Amino acid sequence: MGVDDRKSKKILEIEDLQTYYGRSHIIQGLSMHIDRLEAVSILGRNGVGKTTTLRSIMGLTPARSGAIRIDGQDTTRWPPHRVVRCGIGYVPAERHIFPGLSVEENLKLAEKPKVQGDVWNMEKVYSHFPVLKIRGKQDGSTLSGGEQQMLAIGRALMGNPLLMLLDEPSQGLAPLLVYEVIQPILLVCVEEGLTLLLVEQNYRMALKVASRHYLMGIKGKISGTATSAELMADGDIIKQHLSV
C-alpha cells in the first residue's frame, strides 16, 4: 500500500491502548479506529475512560503501551504540541479559554499559515458564532459558559484540523443552545468533510452528529459498535451504556 492509499483510509487507529493515572490503570486494552471524513462518538457512563481516551490521543496523559496512529504516523508518545501540529483540534470539557486574552486573540492563537484547501478563518467562525464577533475585544474568560464553548470550538476550527476531538461539548449548556448552536455547527463540520471524534453524555446529540458509535464499558473496554439507526431502533442499548 502506497502513501496515497494510506491517506485515503483510517485517520486514527488505536491498538491495545494501556493508560494509567499514577498507579491506577484507567484504559485497559482499547482498540478503535476512525476513517477519514467519518464522524464517530464514544458513548458510556461517567468514569469509564472516555476523557482519558481523548487525553491519550492528545499526549496529555501518555499511553504506557499500545499504539496510536494519526494519518498513518505513530504518535503514541508525542507531546501535545506535536500532536496538534499533525492536524488535531481538541475541545476539552474544561474549554481552557486563555484569561487575559480577548475573544479575537484566543481565536488568532490557533490560526495557522494558510494552505490550499483551508476553509476555516476568523470571518467564517464569526459567521457561525456572531456573538463572538460582538464580543471580539472582551476577555474570553469572562464570557458565559455557552459563549466559551463557542469560542473553544471556533478556536479549534481556526487550525483547520484533519481530525477534531470534542469532550462533552454540550456539558452544562442549556438545551436550546445545544440544539440551535452547538449541534448545527458540528453538522456543518461533518458536511464540509471534517473528521470528528465526539465524547458525549447527550446521546440524542451524538446520534444526530455521528454516524457510528463505540459503546464503552469500564476501563475503556469497548463492548460493541452501533450505527445511529441501530441505537434509535433499540433503546435497551442506550440504557445499558448511559445513565438515562
Dist CA 242 CA 238 (whole Å): 6
Dist CA 34 CA 11 (whole Å): 6
Please report the pLDDT score of residue 244 as a whole number: 45
pLDDT band at 7 (very low <50, low <70, confident <90, very high): low
Question: pTM here?
Answer: 0.92
Q: Using an 8 Å Cβ cutoff, are 75 and 86 in contact?
A: yes
Dist CA 30 CA 76 (whole Å): 13
pLDDT digits (tens, 9 = 90+) for 114-160: 777 778 999 999 999 999 999 999 999 999 999 999 999 999 999 99
Dist CA 133 CA 154 (whole Å): 11
Please report the pLDDT score of residue 5 as a whole number: 46
48 DSSP 8-state letter: S
pLDDT digits (tens, 9 = 90+) for 30-53: 999 999 999 999 999 989 999 999
Q: Which helix (H) or strand (E) holds 66?
A: strand 63-70
Dist CA 71 CA 52 (whole Å): 21
Domains in the chain with CATH codes:
38-58+80-241 (3.40.50.300)
